[in-house]
Amino acid sequence: MREGTRPDEVEDLTQEFFAMLLERRNFDAVRKEKGRLRSYLLTSVKHFLVSEHRRAVTVKRGKGQQPVALEEIAAAGLADMEPANHLSADRIYERRWALTLMEQVLKRLKNEYETAGNTRLFDSLKQLLADEVEAPSRTEIALRLGMTENAVRQALHRLRQRYQVLLREEISHTVAVASDIEDELRHLIAVLRT
């Protein structure tokens, strides 16, 4: 919804779109065998935006509006008119979807570790999972947690394996058939690399 639209208008359009979806109860018509929820939402929002644009264009030019002087536009600067990055709205949507999915998986993983009483271990290993620049070494983590380096290596391996299982599980909720999970996982990785 960012393509040439002011931030306040984007918020209004977003609210209108979701209100329309809830009002129409369009989710009742969505069937797993027909496709991915993400694709359905993307297509729906595109149709919604086209309809909104057509509605806005039908209003006669300048009707009831005060003209804006070009000097005011120049004084305001282009920052509010240009997107913050050069990605298309589709790419931004895809990237946010991927990041949200990964965040959800990380939350589930953290909950599992908290339930098992391993919050400190999770918090330490999470830094290695994300390959953070400022992440402590395995040796530092081992010293901090009173573990051997080998135990930290094994714990990290188990964390990564469980993360992959949970990621596939989350993806399975967004695809029609199980055979699509690997394709969707490859798509997620490709989206994050761009």
Q: For residue range 70-123, what is the model confidence (pLDDT) as tens digits?
A: 445 455 554 454 455 566 788 888 888 888 998 999 999 999 999 999 999 999
Phi, psi angle pair for 77, to nearest 5°: 85, 170
Q: Are residues 38 and 103 in the same domain?
A: no
Contact 8, 1 (CB under 8 A): no
Q: Which residues, 6+ apart, have CB-to-CB distance to 162 below 8 Å?
A: 109, 112
Residue 67 zone, left/alpha/beta (φ > 0; ψ -120 to 50; rest): beta
pTM value?
A: 0.58
Q: Are residues 26 and 99 in the same domain?
A: no
- Domain tally for the chain? 2
* CA–CA distance, 14 with 1 (Å, rounded to integer): 8
Q: Are residues 45 and 128 in the same domain?
A: no
Residue 2 lies in a domain: no
Q: Which parts of the chain sit beneath pLDDT 50?
A: 1-2, 60-62, 68, 70-71, 73, 78-79, 81-82
Structure confidence at residue 176 (pLDDT): 83
* CA–CA distance, 139 with 157 (Å, rounded to integer): 15
